[in-house]
Structure 1
Amino acid sequence: MVAFSAARYYLLLLLLGLSWPRLAWAQELARFTISGTVRGGRGEVLPGASVAVPALNTGTAADSLGHFSLRLPAGKHQLVVAFIGYQQITRDLNLTKNQRLSFALEESGNELGEVVVEGSVTLEQKLKTTQMGVEHLSIHEAKLLPALFGEVDILKTLQLKPGVQSGGEGTSGLFVRGGSADQNLVLLDNALVYNPNHLFGLFSVFNPDAVQSVDLYKSGFPAQFGGRLSSVVDVKLREGDRQHYVATGGIGLISSRLTYEGPINKGKGSFIVSGRRTYFDIFTRALNKANEGKEDYSPIPDYYFYDLNAKANYTLGAKDQLFFTGYLGRDIFGFSSTGGFNFTFKWGNTIGTARWNHVFSPKLFVNTTASISDYQYNLTNKLDQFSFTLGSSIRDYTGRTDFEYTPNDRHLIKVGAMLTQHKFGVGRLDANSGDGRINFGADVNYYGLEGALYASDNYKASDKLQLEGGLRLTGFRSGSDQYGGLEPRASARYSLNDRTSFKLNYALMYQYVHLVTNSGATLPTDIWYPSRLSVMPQRSQQVSSGVSFLLGRGKFLLTDEVYYKWGRNQVDFKDGAQLFVNPELDAEFIFGKSWSYGNELYLEKKTGRTTGWIGYTLAWSWRNFQPQRGTTGVNNGQDFHPNYDRRHNLTVVVLHKLNARFDLTASFIYTSGNLTTLPLGRFGVQDIPGSSTGIDPRPVPIYPDRNSYRLIPYHRLDLGVVYKIGARLNQDLTLSIYNAYNRRNAYFVFFETVRDKATDRITGFRAQQVSLFPVIPSLTYNFRF
């Protein structure tokens, strides 16, 4: 009996020994998913934060919402969570099932260490992603850079990136890789912003105190974005401090800002409210009042703008979270005189969004968003008893759902749908008199329904090869007119080694709404118009390729990208087109094609005391409008460059942390001059009404082809110093010097008449250059309590 028991015991040990390799192999095959969010100690989202297991040489980066997902083999692992400027977290895991985790990183106390780069990704992550032509803007960098009138502007900071041109001196307009300003998709927490500018384009509507992160896509457009041809500017607002009530703000040369944030049911949610207002009007009103009654005094027009941002979030449970965002901004320009003439011009955006985030499992979550976006302007004139009002607007109601699914560590799948109801107020006119004898009006409105379905898969084929493919199905209907198309997207990245990667990208885009701009106007009287009747959707395709190198032990990233983009159904207008309150506006359009190509070089450094970038772009942009619809086209059907075509564009940005209290910054810009149309000469016509005298002929200008002259090159140096004060370094004085060496850059050129002093006869014409901004120093006080 004892012998039998011993034999059975040894047999059992033998079976266990034989089966142990198989059990270990099965254990090795088992893999589980860890997912969750990465935030800062105040509750702020940290997009780009790295979540890695160094022992396995694997990891991932948090997305723009702070979410991450990582597939790991079962067993014990050491997980490292890190973000530049924050203290690293190391956590031991015993992975036996799927887990959802949350991490809160505290800000680093080492003031002389690496510069904080909020809302950005590391250079290594940029090297390894399939995305091309993407710029992740650091709000910290934007706040340090010298700014016009001390007013920090994220869109102007984007103009310092290669492939992005400005519309002119001091403006916030973006012209990306040969595209026009209306071909940029500008989003604020997933809601579309139709006019992202204040002060006639000098400043953007985005208050830097409220912004968390900004991503600019010049190519490699993810499938979830559509509706525009040239770029995507994706702006995310901050969520507010989840632990403390904090007030921040600043007092500058032309405006002041105030932000207040704090927890909601501490640990469950947070809120942030941020406001900004200029005070031009306070000084101009005081000046006008002091000179009231003087016969030789002309009143100064009244102008100011304000904007208000608000955001709140609340965690309903382990799997559900709600977010609410609101924006209200207005520009108000007015003039009144003792003669009874009053003029008021108001324009601005109103935006609201509600988003629900639900986690089905560590592998699958969904964001469902409802939003409203409204842009309108109203222009009112009043002379004695007669009043005249002109206006236009566009309003969108949008619903969208976006799923993200990570089945394993090789695939990241995104699918979604969106639907937008547009209302286009193409023109609104009202005129009446106080006695009732004049009373008439006109109102032209159109409606449009735009929808899209998309799917994409980011597939890691191997450690060296990563592919991303996407397909977007879009459609648009206005009245009885319907349009649609497929928009394929494809990207590939091949790593030659740990420090070199090659990338290739293709994208096709449709644009169903069009911006009607009176090129002679200097005010934002733009009209958005739907695809209908003869106005077909615009379409563009872009191919790009590039190579990226990590240099200097990973401290520098050098990229070289080339691109070619071509489009059709591009929109322009007949000479003398009637744009306002025209029920047949589509008859004023002409259509053509466009193409652009270029090479962009970019060297970037994000860590250490000295950071910054150098960018250089060599590019060409072309357009062609053949004779059509009773016109000779543009330039008689010959190819021409648009006025924003710039052959050379060089930017140098340097940020240096001198010590715990001082930051020094500088930016230098050199670009080819704007293209313009100037007269070749003049011929005289006599004996017509309007002649200056009965003898002198009236000079009539002779114009060459459109945009045949290029203005002198534009260059400018801006300098800045940030001095931190207070025991906790929570206040600072920021000195900005715009155009430090007082370069007189050309804004536009006009011709003045030259006359003989003795006979008062016209003897010629002299070109005169108008410059906008000389050297402008400004001082801003910023605080955080």
Structure 2
Amino acid sequence: MGAPLAGWAQVRFTLSGYIRAADSKEVLPGATVAAPALGLGATTDSTGFYSVALPAGTQNLVVSFIGYQTLTRTITLTKNQRLSFSLPASTNELGEVVVQGSATLEQKLRAPQMSVEHLTATEAKLLPALFGEVDILKTLQLKPGVQNGGEGTSGLFVRGGSADQNLFLLDDAVVYNPSHLFGLFSVFNSDAVQSVDLYKGGFPAQFGGRLSSVVDVRTREGNPEKIGVSGGIGLISSRLTVEGPIKKGKGSFLVSGRRTYFDVFTRQINKLNDSDPDYNPIPDYYFYDFNLKANYKLGDRDQVFLTGYLGRDIFGFNSTNGFNFDFSWGNTVGALRWNHVFSPKFFVNTTVSTTGYKYQIGNKLDQFGFGISSDIKDQAIRTDFDYLLNDHHTFKFGATVTNHQFGVGRLNANSGDGTLNINSDVAYTGQEAAVYASDNFRVNKDLQLDYGLRLTGFQSGSDHYGGIEPRLAARYSLTDKTSLKLSYAQMYQYVHLVTNSGATLPTDIWYPSRLNVKPQRSQQVATGVSFLLGKGKFLLTDEVYYKWASNQVDFRDGAQLFANSDLDAEFLFGKGWSYGNEIYLEKKEGRTTGWIGYTLAWTKRKFPPQRGTTGINNGATFYPTYDRRHNLTVVVLHQLSTRFNLTSSFVFSSGNPTTLPQSRFIYQDTYGSDYSVVPIYPERNSYRLASYHRLDLGIVYKFRPRHGERDLTLSIYNAYNHRNPYFVYFDQIKDEETNLITGYRARQVSLFPVIPALTYNFKF
């Protein structure tokens, strides 16, 4: 929201404060305080704080947030003033289906940033979910430009980037593995999450370290007025959240936990079949996670926030023949943030954080044991300053320093009698630092710029790297309902995820830039147009992007990943391109809400011959497995009555590129000996699996208890039972008389049929 330059000479004062929900007293990031007659306004940040410069005198203010009642207030400014607002929840019958916490369509139209998606847990909870387990990353996959890795995965592939090129932040602390259950669910418990911002391009200068996207997750602070309990009982998991005041008016806390109970059922099944010598036990598997959030006001100008997360996946198999297999992985995150307000125009957030991700496998056969593991640990400090110079310029600047510890590979093998004991440990350290500055410049009511610069550096041992990352986003309003947008960003990535895709289980190793492993680098330019349609009820956007990347990392065939002191020699390096067009139509108000997104995109990679190898695909350009030509999503939320909500989502995408043998030949070493069949493969990923499509349905029934809230949610995953491809294998076709192979038949393996799920949610 800009203002003509002619008003520059007027005496101005700063109005600032917090905007909260009247019922829960939690802050509302993204709420708006506006003076419509002046064309001026401000949006609250992640702490619910706003600050706006207004001319002296009497002003009419409008305070709004989707899903809450709009407040109007007349004030007289004679000095800088602190004024906070509490917004009551919408009382009309349609209030239940409005997405609380999402930016209004007009805000999105007028914002200089493009390629940004804002979601809340409220929105995710309305959508049907696999096994009834709400997943905010699954909701992100329903947005244009964001694709999953295939059936049953929660990994994000954003605008042609690989899964490790996404930066996941939990209250400013990095999360290295955002997945549970081999990728089926994310680690972000919807009961603890307040909002998620996804940046696909035009990255603000305060973010860096990854090439393709930033997923900025903010957790809830808890109710500062009264104790509250909420949770849910579902098909595979249960959740419980407790929140309340530490001291009324001073601080609050929130503790949330979640656990699956696959193992409860599988252990009982195994026990019932324990006496059968031919019975193969079902492996134990479960995951759990805990979230903690606390905040406390030290005074009018100071507030501290504490965030904690602990999550683990546990997989175990104990056979009757003495073979035991244990597999676990998980994240640990802690962050302490201090918010200090120097003045209504100038404040700072400083965060000290620690994060760790560990992966380990253990095997035991009789008396022989074998184990491998890897991990990464970070200790970081980050400080971000915000300075509102006037209603035309808002400056942000800051710095971050991170110490990385890489446990690249730990191997141990031993025997029970002590005759064998082998230990190997490969570890590195790295230091990463960055400084940045940016300016949000409202040139006039039609033109707004957000430009900045980020300087980064990385050191591992005696190896040093650095880079300059310019950022630019611009918005020009052709009319009150039409905006043109443009963005450019350059990114560096100094840590790399090495994943052995040929392994039966994932082998995730984080590795620093060092020796011959140069940092990855990308540049992205995007342009688009946005329209408000239907009296402001619909927002239509059309964005075109082009991204090119260098120093892309892969590994040679047969690479030895664990306990390798010269892992640099296993890497291959190449370049990549991705480009596409994203069309998005969104509606956020009324009895029926939702969105339609369509993406037409291409993603390519090229790894030329190097290091004594033929490269990948003999150096020819190929499509990676996450390339999708077409991707369509349709999400519809409809309020049938005050107690019933209907939800649905439909997805369609082109099939994954894959490599399949195009022919085979048979040979015998000597006459009469067994013959061997050798497959002949064409170029990498020269085939595509069948197209993927799925319809999910849901219905939410809201009870009317005397106290609190209750609802029963029925979700149907893959409602018309379409068998989507997971992978393809080949069956031999043999002659019944001679038993000779006469051909091969392709077989498709599908993961999920139609899956209904019932979840009971409560809050009191």
With the shorter chain as reference, the TM-score category is over 0.9
For 1:133 and 1:768, locate their aligned partners in 2 and report how far apart those are by CA, in whole Å. 39
1:579-598 Cα offsets, whole Å, 9 max, x none, are 11101000000100000100
For 1:762 and 1:438, locate their aligned partners in 2 and report how far apart those are by CA, in whole Å. 46
Of the candidates 15, 19, 28, which is equivalent to residue 46 of structure 1? 28
1:91 aligned onto 2:73: yes
1:263-317 Cα offsets, whole Å, 9 max, x none, are 1111111100000000000000000001101022110000000000010001111
Equivalent position of 1:553 in the other structure: 535
Tell whether the 8 Å contact from 2:66 to 2:102 is kept in structure 1 after alignment: no
Question: The residue matched to 2:521 in structure 1 has which SS?
Answer: strand
Give the aligned residue type for 2:16.
Answer: S
Tell whether the 8 Å contact from 2:721 to 2:753 is kept in structure 1 after alignment: yes
Question: The residue matched to 2:97 in structure 1 has which SS?
Answer: coil
Of the candidates 730, 752, 759, which is equivalent to residue 780 of structure 1? 759
TM-score normalised over the length of structure 2: 0.97
Give the aligned residue type for 1:585.
Answer: L
Equivalent position of 1:224 in the other structure: 206
For 1:734 and 1:406, locate their aligned partners in 2 and report how far apart those are by CA, in whole Å. 45
Residue 397 of structure 1: how far off its partner (Å) = 0.3
Equivalent position of 2:644 in the other structure: 662
Which stretch shifts more, 53-62 or 186-195?
Answer: 53-62
Give the aligned residue type for 1:446.
Answer: Y
Tell whether the 8 Å contact from 2:40 to 2:391 is kept in structure 1 after alignment: no
Tell whether the 8 Å contact from 1:377 to 1:392 is kept in structure 2 after alignment: yes
Which stretch shifts more, 444-453 or 140-149?
Answer: 140-149
Equivalent position of 1:5 in the other structure: none
Question: The residue matched to 2:94 in structure 1 has which SS?
Answer: coil
Equivalent position of 1:159 in the other structure: 141
Give the aligned residue type for 1:424.
Answer: F
Tell whether the 8 Å contact from 1:456 to 1:469 is kept in structure 2 after alignment: yes
Equivalent position of 2:601 in the other structure: 619
For 1:654 and 1:538, locate their aligned partners in 2 and report how far apart those are by CA, in whole Å. 39
Of the candidates 701, 707, 723, which is equivalent to residue 685 of structure 2? 707
Equivalent position of 1:36 in the other structure: 17
Residue 522 of structure 1: how far off its partner (Å) = 4.2
Residue 29 of structure 1: how far off its partner (Å) = 1.9
Of the candidates 384, 391, 395, which is equivalent to residue 402 of structure 1? 384
Residue 115 of structure 1: how far off its partner (Å) = 3.2
For these two proteins, the number of residue pairs brought into alignment is 757
In the TM superposition, structure 1's runs of 4+ consecutive aligned residues that sit over 6 Å from their partners are 25-28
Trace 1:160-239 onto structure 2 (pairs within 5 A): 160-239=142-221
Tell whether the 8 Å contact from 1:114 to 1:607 is kept in structure 2 after alignment: no
Of the candidates 695, 715, 737, which is equivalent to residue 758 of structure 1? 737
1:429 aligned onto 2:415: no
1:727 aligned onto 2:679: no
For 2:152 and 2:264, locate their aligned partners in 1 and report how far apart those are by CA, in whole Å. 23
For 1:657 and 1:569, locate their aligned partners in 2 and report how far apart those are by CA, in whole Å. 50
1:718 aligned onto 2:696: yes
Equivalent position of 2:492 in the other structure: 510
Q: Percent identity?
A: 71
Which stretch shifts more, 287-296 or 470-479?
Answer: 287-296
Tell whether the 8 Å contact from 1:118 to 1:139 is kept in structure 2 after alignment: no
Residue 699 of structure 1: how far off its partner (Å) = 0.4
Tell whether the 8 Å contact from 2:20 to 2:48 is kept in structure 1 after alignment: yes
1:745 aligned onto 2:724: yes
Equivalent position of 2:446 in the other structure: 464
Structure 2 CA distance for partners of 1:416 and 1:386, relative to 1, 3 Å: same
Residue 137 of structure 1: how far off its partner (Å) = 1.1
For 1:262 and 1:438, locate their aligned partners in 2 and report how far apart those are by CA, in whole Å. 55
Unaligned runs of 5+ in 2: 1-5
Residue 109 of structure 1: how far off its partner (Å) = 2.7
Equivalent position of 2:3 in the other structure: none
For 1:27 and 1:463, locate their aligned partners in 2 and report how far apart those are by CA, in whole Å. 13
Give the aligned residue type for 1:542.
Answer: Q
Unaligned runs of 5+ in 1: 1-24
Of the candidates 145, 148, 160, which is equivalent to residue 130 of structure 2? 148
For 2:599 and 2:90, locate their aligned partners in 1 and report how far apart those are by CA, in whole Å. 36
Tell whether the 8 Å contact from 1:326 to 1:351 is kept in structure 2 after alignment: yes
Equivalent position of 1:65 in the other structure: 47
Tell whether the 8 Å contact from 1:144 to 1:665 is kept in structure 2 after alignment: yes
1:636 aligned onto 2:618: yes
Residue 727 of structure 1: how far off its partner (Å) = 2.8
1:275 aligned onto 2:257: yes
Give the aligned residue type for 2:740.
Answer: R
TM-score normalised over the length of structure 1: 0.95
Rg bigger for which structure? 1
Which stretch shifts more, 500-509 or 93-102?
Answer: 93-102
Structure 2 CA distance for partners of 1:260 and 1:389, relative to 1, 3 Å: same
Question: The residue matched to 1:200 in structure 2 has which SS?
Answer: helix
For 2:557 and 2:371, locate their aligned partners in 1 and report how far apart those are by CA, in whole Å. 25
Residue 101 of structure 1: how far off its partner (Å) = 2.2
Tell whether the 8 Å contact from 1:43 to 1:239 is kept in structure 2 after alignment: no
Structure 2 CA distance for partners of 1:522 and 1:37, relative to 1, 3 Å: farther
Alpha carbon RMSD of aligned pairs, Å? 1.4
1:597 aligned onto 2:579: yes
Structure 2 CA distance for partners of 1:26 and 1:411, relative to 1, 3 Å: closer
Question: The residue matched to 2:531 in structure 1 has which SS?
Answer: strand
Tell whether the 8 Å contact from 1:28 to 1:74 is kept in structure 2 after alignment: no
Tell whether the 8 Å contact from 1:627 to 1:636 is kept in structure 2 after alignment: yes
Question: The residue matched to 1:124 in structure 2 has which SS?
Answer: helix
Give the aligned residue type for 1:39.
Answer: R
Equivalent position of 1:352 in the other structure: 334
For 1:260 and 1:114, locate their aligned partners in 2 and report how far apart those are by CA, in whole Å. 23
Of the candidates 242, 248, 265, which is equivalent to residue 266 of structure 1? 248
For 1:128 and 1:308, locate their aligned partners in 2 and report how far apart those are by CA, in whole Å. 38
Trace 1:342-421 onto structure 2 (pairs within 5 A): 342-421=324-403
For 1:27 and 1:677, locate their aligned partners in 2 and report how far apart those are by CA, in whole Å. 63
Equivalent position of 1:8 in the other structure: none
